[in-house]
Amino acid sequence: MGSSVQKTGKRSALPEDIINEQLVREYDANDVRFSRMDVRNRLKWVRQHLNREIQLPLSAWLLLDELIGLSHDIDWQSGPITVWPSNELMQTWLDVSERSLQILLNRLRRANFIAFIDSPSRQRWGRRDPETGRIIEAYGIDLRPLAQRVPDLVALAERAQQERQDTINKRRTVRALIARVEEYIRTGRRQDAANDNWDVLEAQVNEIAAQVADKRVRLPILEAALEALRPLEEAIKKAIVKLFRPRRPQDGRKAHESNEESGEGESDFTHKTTTDPSSRRREHVEPSRNDVAAAVSARNANHRAVVDHLDRYKITPAAIAAACPGFADLMDDGSRAQPSWSDIHAAAERNRSVLGIAPHAWRTLVSELGRDGAAVALAIVAEKFCRGARGEAPVIARPAGYLYWIARTYADGMPLDLGPKIHALLGPKSSTAA
């Protein structure tokens, strides 16, 4: 004769029930209350930003929202927050089987969102005061664990959202840095193909790129990749600067003669020495004070004309950085997004060294065009030089000669074309001022 197991009506206890009981006690002792609508709105935000950590299916979130909707506003002011829907009603909400419903309820129970208040018969029911609407006695699903956890859940969601945004920003920074380092390596290999160190550096960069290729990569891994890439970038920059800086002979006269014959070394130019070499041998005559004052006045007028030209074509530091990414690569990371004119001037000094422009030649360019105009001219030449190195434009063999040509044409009274050049580098969609 077979034996049968009779149901006792008691629910199996879970470890999470102890936590739920503690949350209920904390809620009853707490004076802070949230309205039902506030809880529903906050819960949607928590689900959007924290579900990766909570790991609840969408149907469980929908069930929880329906349970909150069954409660009354007065329940969230004080006393128990209990609802007593039948299984058939909840199955109708979600269009699931009874077994699936039990699984979802247990998932909410284990997530410390709900607790169960069971009657002796295991039936859900409740009574309210007909005048006040408050719950007098109820058996069913208790929402006080959720009500107690709302502030902590919102704080966790805010941290998760901030971490996710930091991860997105860091991933963009790492990928941009990888692309920049790879471009540096390609440039260095073109200039020094026999050096095997470029292959070693490329292997290191590829290894880091493989580690951060997954979109789900965590923030600590991205930070570690950034810490590894930054010193690598600095080392590659120094190697490239060394490649582009020609060697000078020790003897000053021989250095000057070799520069004139072969064009090597940091390029130095002035209008007089370039146009009239015999002027070096002429007797030096001290200019009068009136001549000096007139020259200074004319130079200041030229500088104002250059500034007016840049303003007319709306040449801002941001436009320069956008049009000349090869020039902006040598800017600080913090100033590249929103550069100022001082950032552009500092980047011009760095690019001057990379392009092999001698300090005296740079001072001559600043004297003719002013600091802003000289920086814009150098940005144009640096960007065209980088595009030529990548094979995207004609190669500029001597950047110093190009800069001298810009300064000479302006000194000879020809119209300045720095604005149109920047807009041309921006692309066909850029608009120029009349």
Any idea what the CATH number is for the domain that residue 96 is in? 1.10.10
> Do 270 and 201 belong together in one domain?
no
pLDDT at 7: 39
Q: At what angle do helices 359-389 and 289-312 cross, to 10 degrees?
A: 20
> Do 191 and 85 belong together in one domain?
no
What is the number of domains present in the chain? Answer: 3
> Do 71 and 113 belong together in one domain?
yes
Buried b (16+ CB within 10 A) or exposed e, 372-402: bbbbbbbbbbbbbbbbebeeeeeebeebbeb
> Do 38 and 76 belong together in one domain?
yes
CA–CA distance, 153 with 46 (Å, rounded to integer): 7
> Do 133 and 271 belong together in one domain?
no
> Do 178 and 133 belong together in one domain?
no
List the chain pLDDT tens, one digit each, 434 residues. Answer: 333 333 344 667 777 888 888 888 888 888 878 888 888 888 888 888 777 778 889 999 999 999 999 999 898 888 889 999 999 999 999 999 999 999 999 999 998 999 998 888 888 999 998 888 888 899 999 999 988 888 888 888 888 778 878 888 888 888 888 888 888 888 888 777 777 788 888 888 888 888 888 877 888 888 888 888 888 888 888 877 777 665 554 444 444 444 444 444 455 544 444 444 444 444 444 545 555 455 557 677 878 888 888 988 889 998 898 888 888 887 776 677 788 898 898 888 888 878 878 888 888 888 888 889 899 999 998 888 888 777 777 877 778 888 888 887 777 777 778 888 888 888 764 443 33
> Does the residue 271 lie in any domain?
yes
> Does the residue 172 lie in any domain?
yes
Question: HSE-up of 227 (CA within 13 Å, CB side)?
Answer: 6
> Does the residue 378 lie in any domain?
yes
> Do 38 and 102 belong together in one domain?
yes
Final residue belonging to a domain, choices 128, 154, 180: 154
pTM of the entire structure?
A: 0.43
Q: Give CA separation, 269 vs 182, 248, 258, in Å.
A: 34, 17, 15
Q: At what angle do helices 144-191 and 36-54 cross, to 10 degrees?
A: 50
> Do 237 and 350 belong together in one domain?
no
> Do 173 and 303 belong together in one domain?
no
> Does the residue 283 lie in any domain?
no
pLDDT at 34: 83
> Do 228 and 303 belong together in one domain?
no
> Does the residue 354 lie in any domain?
yes
> Do 175 and 206 belong together in one domain?
yes
pLDDT at 10: 63
Q: At what angle do helices 219-244 and 144-191 cross, to 10 degrees?
A: 20
Q: Residue 307 is part of which domain span? A: 264-275+292-426
Final residue belonging to a domain, choices 121, 154, 187: 154
Final residue belonging to a domain, choices 108, 126, 154: 154
> Does the residue 280 lie in any domain?
no
> Does the residue 3 lie in any domain?
no
pLDDT at 77: 87
> Does the residue 253 lie in any domain?
no
> Do 271 and 399 belong together in one domain?
yes
